[in-house]
Amino acid sequence: MGVLNGIIIIVEIFKEVTMNNRFFREKVVGSEVHEWDLVKTSLVFKPECKDTGFEIAASYLNAAKKLQEAIMIESHPKDGVSVLMLNSPIIPFLFLCHHSIELAIKVALSDKNITYGNIHSLRKLFSMLDLDVDLEYLELMDALDLADNQGMWLRYDKDLKTSNEYLNKPIFINSKNMIDATDRFVRFLIEK
């Protein structure tokens, strides 16, 4: 029992240190509120107005939209010009699109009391919902699953077990089409 209490005390001390520093705060006062951003807005809502699952999915979608805007500015600064970058935000953009859809599907599954385990394939998850959708959404899920159906390639460059590169040939995406379809699909799932 003593060790368990020690762990609880350490966790509480760690929480205190990490949540009240120059990066995180549990409370802001007065004009300093304009220097800080609330991580989960739904926490200030009444319980009946909270929908934290879709808030997280929508947050990833919003980040994907912002990143797509930056991609267009950096990669296509003017008509007829394309810039290739070694530090391109394309992979994080694809991750955000995939993850926002994955989270929205998982929330829809949870709302129907359907368990899904540790699955990251959008098509596999979506098939559990038994919904009819536009072909565009199926094509989008297939494209994103092709990029990462295990939740690994968009986070790591190599298979952790085999050290083989996940992507070993050039692939191009249309980020505008991708974000537009992702936005419509996540909104479709939220409204279900």
What pLDDT score was predicted for residue 40? 81
Tens-place pLDDT, residues 114-147:
999 999 999 999 999 989 999 999 999 999 998 8
Indicate if 28 and 86 belong to the same structural domain: no
Element containing residue 123 per DSSP (H, E): helix 122-127
pLDDT band at 51 (very low <50, low <70, confident <90, very high): low
Q: Are residues 129 and 74 in the same domain?
A: yes
Residues 96 and 157 in one domain: yes
E-strand spans in 15-151?
none
From residue 144, give the alpha-carbon distance in Å to each of 6, 101, 130: 45, 10, 20
Question: In the chain, pLDDT over 70 holds for what percent of residues?
Answer: 88
Task: Collapse the DSSP code of 161 into the 3-class scheme (helix H, G, I; strand E, B; otherwise coil) and give the result.
Answer: coil
My answer on whether 84 and 167 are in the same domain is yes
Q: 102 and 15 share a domain? A: no
What is d(CA 106, CA 190) in angstroms, rounded to the nearest whole number?
A: 11
- Please check whether residues 32 and 47 belong to one and the same domain: no
56-114 pLDDT tens trace: 999 999 999 999 999 999 998 899 998 988 888 999 999 999 999 999 999 999 999 99
For the whole model, what pTM was predicted? 0.82
CATH of the domain at 179: 1.20.120.330
Do both 151 and 116 map to the same domain? yes
